[in-house]
């Protein structure tokens, strides 16, 4: 898992051997699976019992946990950067602007945990992913138009309610078919899936954002009728070496000393390129949310899992 995430981070930084790193991570995962299955066949102790994955409930549960965290990671990387670099908020204001997401998630998790009653967990997870995908989809068209972080409050509340519904159900759903003696293994796999999802969402959304900014900015610079060819080449080379989301204020400081028309043109390009980069970055959590929605339909086809001794226990 580390190899896959590291490969994405190296790509984000413009490094080399990206495919080799990702391939090494994927091969390592396959090798681990083969090693575990082989030891189980030989009757030897294994770090993780491969039979855990024979349960459809467990497989669906950990995949939903991973997709939920990919959505979280994508939103956590894209929205604070948008608030700080486009609206030029400080860290405190950016945090306050994202508070509706946190508070609605916490409140809905408590409410759903106490009032779920006899409602099917799969239905609650389906509703959660539906709300989550809807919240992210509503944020995307608001990104270039929002004049304040509070313009995002309603979509964030919708997404937070979706996350709260899932948080209240997924652990129990995932661990319900697991025998008590395999609790530590199951909880470890569940936690690893969530951690990988969060890391992947952060890394991939951030990498896609910077790559899109670099390509868009370069194309706009090269098609500009204001920037001279030498300036266009300089911009392209600078972005290739170090693409960075910058506020217009920070960019103006870097452009000090340049002719006024050059400054205005580069700031115009930056203003137009950033929303495109943020849109593409937000498609990462949107796609993950839609995949979770489809996965939830698979969960509904199964009967409700029977409670086990593990249900109600918290695993992080």
Specify if 96 maps to a domain.
no
* 217: in domain: no
pLDDT (0 to 100) of residue 242: 56
Lowest mean pLDDT among 43-52, 77-86, 138-147, 230-239: 230-239
The answer to whether residues 299 and 126 touch, using CB atoms and an 8 Å cutoff, is yes
* pLDDT score of 316 more than 50: no
Q: What is the pLDDT of residue 134?
A: 95
User: CA neighbours within 13 Å on the CB side: how many for 74?
Assistant: 32
**Does the pLDDT of residue 67 top 90, yes or no?**
yes
Q: Please provide the average confidence, as pLDDT, over all residues in the chain.
A: 84
Q: Find, among 20, 43, 24, the residue nearest to 32 by Cα.
A: 24
3-class secondary structure, 289: helix
Is residue 111's pLDDT more than 60? yes
Return the number of other C-beta atoms located less than 10 Å from residue 62's C-beta: 24
Query: Residue 182: inside a domain, yes or no?
Result: no
Q: Does the residue 32 lie in any domain?
A: yes
Q: Which residues contact 62 (CB under 8 A, 6 or more apart)?
A: 174, 189, 190, 193
- Tell me what pLDDT residue 308 has: 56
| Assigned domain for 103 exists | no
How far apart (Å, rounded) are the C-alpha atoms in residues 64 and 70? 10
Please indicate, yes or no, if residue 251 is contained in any of the structural domains: no
Q: What is the pLDDT of residues 289-303, one digit of tens each?
A: 999 999 999 988 888
Structure tokens at 150: 């509070």
Provide, rounded to the nearest whole percent, the portion of the chain with pLDDT above 90: 25
Token pair 């669906």 is found at: 60
Number of H helices, E strands in the chain: 12, 0
The sign of the dihedral angle between the CA atoms of 51, 52, 57, 62 is negative
In this structure, of 1-10, 163-172, 226-235, the range with the lowest mean pLDDT score is 226-235
309: pLDDT strictly greater than 90: no
Q: How far apart are CA 212 and CA 281, in angstroms?
A: 9
- Residue 38's domain comprises 1-47
Find the angle CA(205)-CA(110)-CA(305) to the nearest 5 degrees: 80
Is 21 within the bounds of a domain?
yes
User: Does residue 36 fall inside a structural domain?
Assistant: yes
pTM greater than the 0.95 cutoff? no
- Segment 107-118 mean pLDDT: 80
Q: What per-residue confidence (pLDDT) applies to 8?
A: 82
**pLDDT tops 70 at residue 184:** yes
CA distance 163 to 109: 8
Pick from 290, 291, 293: nearest CA to 125: 293
Confidence of residue 222 (pLDDT cuts 50, 70, 90): confident
Give the confidence band of 162 by pLDDT, cuts at 50, 70, 90. Answer: very high
Choice between 172 and 166, residue whose per-residue pLDDT is larger: 166
The residues near 281 (Cβ < 8 Å, ≥ 6 apart) are 74, 77, 78, 205, 206, 208, 209, 212
| Helix H or strand E encompassing 47 | none
Q: Is the pLDDT of residue 245 over 80?
A: no
CA distance 141 to 133: 14
Tell me how many domains the chain contains.
1
């Amino acid at each position: 898992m580390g190899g896959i995430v590291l490969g994405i981070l190296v790509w984000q930084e413009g490094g080399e051997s990206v495919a080799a790193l990702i391939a090494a991570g994927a091969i390592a995962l396959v090798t681990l699976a083969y090693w575990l299955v082989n030891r189980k066949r030989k009757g030897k102790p294994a770090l993780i019992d491969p039979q855990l994955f024979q349960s459809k409930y467990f497989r669906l549960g950990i995949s939903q946990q991973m997709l939920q965290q990919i959505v979280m990671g994508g939103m956590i990387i894209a929205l604070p950067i948008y608030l700080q670099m486009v609206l030029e908020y400080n860290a405190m204001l950016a945090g306050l602007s994202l508070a509706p997401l946190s508070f609605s998630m916490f409140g809905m998790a408590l409410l759903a945990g106490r009032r779920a009653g006899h409602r099917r967990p799969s239905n609650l997870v389906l509703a959660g992913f539906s709300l989550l995908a809807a919240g992210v989809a509503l944020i995307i068209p608001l990104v270039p138009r929002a004049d304040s972080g509070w313009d995002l409050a309603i979509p964030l509340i919708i997404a937070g309610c979706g996350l709260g519904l899932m948080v209240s159900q997924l652990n129990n759903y995932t661990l319900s078919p697991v025998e008590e003696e395999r609790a530590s293994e199951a909880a470890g796999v569940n936690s690893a899936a969530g951690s990988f999802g969060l890391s992947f969402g952060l890394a991939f959304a951030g990498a896609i954002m910077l790559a899109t900014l670099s390509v868009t900015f370069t194309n706009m610079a090269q098609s500009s009728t204001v920037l001279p060819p030498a300036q266009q080449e300089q911009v392209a080379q600078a972005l290739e070496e170090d693409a960075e989301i910058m506020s217009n204020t920070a960019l103006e400081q870097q452009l000090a000393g340049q002719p006024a028309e050059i400054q205005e043109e580069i700031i115009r390009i930056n203003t137009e390129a950033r929303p495109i980069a943020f849109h593409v970055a937000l498609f990462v959590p949107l796609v993950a949310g839609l995949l979770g929605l489809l996965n939830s339909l698979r969960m509904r086809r199964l009967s409700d899992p029977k409670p086990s001794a593990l249900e109600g226990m918290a695993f992080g």
